[in-house]
Amino acid sequence: MAIRIQRIPSAPPAAALAARAVAIVLALLVAGLVLAASGADPLRLASQVLGATFGSSFGLEDVGLLVTPLILTGLSVAVALKIGAWNIGAEGQFYAGAFAATAVALFVPGPTVLMLPLMFLAGALGGLVWILVPTLARAYADVSELITTLLLNFVATLMVYYVSTGPWLDPSGHALATTARLPHDIPEFWGIVHWGFPLAILLTVLVAAVLNFTRWGYEVRIAGSNPQAARYAGMPFRRRLIVVMLLSGAIAGVAGMLEVAGTVHRLQGGISNNFGYLGIMVAVLARGSALGVLAGAALMAVILNSGIILQTQGITVSTVLAITGLILFFTAIGDELAHYRVTRTKPVGA
């Protein structure tokens, strides 16, 4: 018997799923080995992480809080990818959304029941404005959105640092680097998890439905896959590109609004917690599927939460980032390997 390896053009779903599972296990194994080498006891740490995450409702609530922004930033990146654009700027749009929502909350008086929807709109608008220039530059001048969206991240980050330590600094004097507590909170529905969580899921399902079950969504998929074919079929590629990119920015802005109004309750520097960048990873893990974003975000949230628990055990935050990187790395390899098939044949010419 001879064993041979063969590449097949498209990976069967079962193989792809199995490869991913193996990839995650391998990444955790490697991380465990490194931890063991640096003197920690990986088994004890693992049982602590698992116990603290899934053993109590507190752990699950923490994950629920983390997963909400991850779903939306992941969705933001995934939606842009559908039309073939790389939105590296979900981070900046997240800040812009949080900024706009905070401005409305702090400076517009009104009852919470009115103000929350208004803040939601402001958040979406903030994200949309933040991606507007990169969108138009891409649509009309073919300027790479990869660069422009990335650069605007730094502007948004610094802008939020500035207002939260300067003009909008909490006048009560209790806080040194944040705005005052926002007067309007998104209500909680389970422990500390607010209604932003189901809203994020709803938005994802909605976007998936629009992409798969509307004419507009069909045009977006064709245009994203091959702009030439869209031109051939007479679809307005540029209009679709603009709308999809603006939608992508608005979704990331909503993530920022939910974070500031539901979880943190104050605008402060570093509020994004890298959710915008992690959204890129969530979208890559989702393999271009809007619903896959939910699974990707859940995995990411568990990893982040594990990182927080590990930090209480004296493991540094860079270790957690390394684990995230390892998972992405092994997943990429796994995705490629899922295209291969091992067959056995009778020896040839023996």
Interface ranges with another protein (CB under 8 A): 4, 8-10, 212-219, 221-222, 225-226, 228-229, 231-235, 343, 345-350
Q: Which C-beta is closer to another protein: that of 237 or that of 330? A: 237
Residue 171 or 234: which CB sits closer to another protein?
234
CB 125 to another protein: min, Å: 24
- Report the distance separating Cα 246 and Cα 145, nearest Å: 12
Residue 187: how many CA atoms within 13 Å on its side-chain side?
Answer: 5
Nearer to another protein, 212 or 316 (CB): 212
Minimum distance from residue 344 beta carbon to another protein (Å):
10
34 vs 210 by CB, closer to another protein = 210
Closest CA to 162 of 100, 99, 119: 99
Q: Encoding tokens for residue 336?
A: 């490629």
- Tell me the β-bridge partners of 342: 5
For the bound state, the minimum distance from the C-beta of residue 137 to another protein, rounded and expressed in Å, comes to: 22
d(CA 130, CA 175): 28
Q: How far is the CB of 347 from another protein (least distance, A)?
A: 7
Query: CB-wise, 10 or 172, nearer to another protein?
Result: 10
Shortest distance in whole angstroms from residue 286 CB to another protein: 16
Shorter beta-carbon distance to another protein: residue 238 or 266? 238
CB of 345 to another protein, least distance (A): 6
Min separation Cβ 199 and another protein, Å: 24
Closest by CA position to 252, among listed 73, 64, 49: 73
Check the CA dihedral 141-145-149-150 and report its sign. Answer: negative
Considering only CA atoms, which of 25, 29, 26, 53 is closest in space to residue 42? 29
Residue 184's nearest CA partner among 96, 123, 255, 116 is 116
> Across the strands, what pairs with 2?
345
CB 58 within 8 A of CB 45: no
| Residue with Cβ nearer another protein (21 or 229) | 229
Tokens 């926002």 sit on residue: 182
Separation between Cα atoms, residue 207 and residue 217, nearest integer Å: 9
